[in-house]
C-alpha cells in the first residue's frame, strides 16, 4: 500500500476562552503538510510518525486534527523519502 497524497481531516480549535461552540471544518490536507505538523512532536522518527498516522489525531498549537487512522507500514524507503522532503525546522 502506498502512502496517500491527501488526508481528509476534521479540524477544530482548542483555543481557551469564553464558552463557545466552534465549527468543525473538514479539509483535504496533503500528507506532507500533516506530517510536517507532526515533526515538532516526533522529529523525523518514522516509527513515531507511523504511530500518529495510525492513531488518527494530532493537537498542534490551538488546533486539533482528526482523521481516519491508517497503517502507514509501507516500505521504509517511501517513509524516509517523505521525511527527507520536509525541511527541518531551524
Residue 41 lies in a domain: yes
- Decide: pTM greater than 0.85: no
Structural domain of 64? 30-90
Where is average pLDDT lowest: 27-36, 40-49, 53-62, 81-90? Answer: 81-90
* Number of domains making up the chain: 1
At residue 61, the pLDDT reads: 83
Residue 90, all three cell numbers: 531551524
Residue 17 lies in a domain: no
Where is average pLDDT lowest: 33-42, 48-57, 79-88? Answer: 79-88
Residue 62 lies in a domain: yes
Residue 76 lies in a domain: yes
At residue 17, the pLDDT reads: 63
Residue 78 lies in a domain: yes
Mean pLDDT confidence for 23-27: 89
Residue 56 lies in a domain: yes
Residue 8 lies in a domain: no
| pLDDT of residue 76 exceeding 70 | no
Amino acid at each position: 500500500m502506498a502512502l496517500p497524497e491527501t488526508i481528509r481531516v476534521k479540524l477544530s480549535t482548542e483555543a481557551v476562552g469564553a464558552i463557545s461552540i466552534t465549527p468543525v471544518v473538514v479539509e483535504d490536507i496533503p500528507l506532507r503538510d500533516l506530517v510536517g505538523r507532526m515533526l515538532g512532536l516526533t522529529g523525523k522518527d518514522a516509527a513515531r510518525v507511523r504511530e500518529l498516522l495510525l492513531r488518527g489525531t494530532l493537537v498542534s498549537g490551538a488546533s486539533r486534527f482528526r482523521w481516519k487512522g491508517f497503517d502507514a507500514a509501507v516500505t521504509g524507503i517511501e517513509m524516509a523519502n517523505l521525511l527527507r522532503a520536509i525541511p527541518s525546522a531551524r
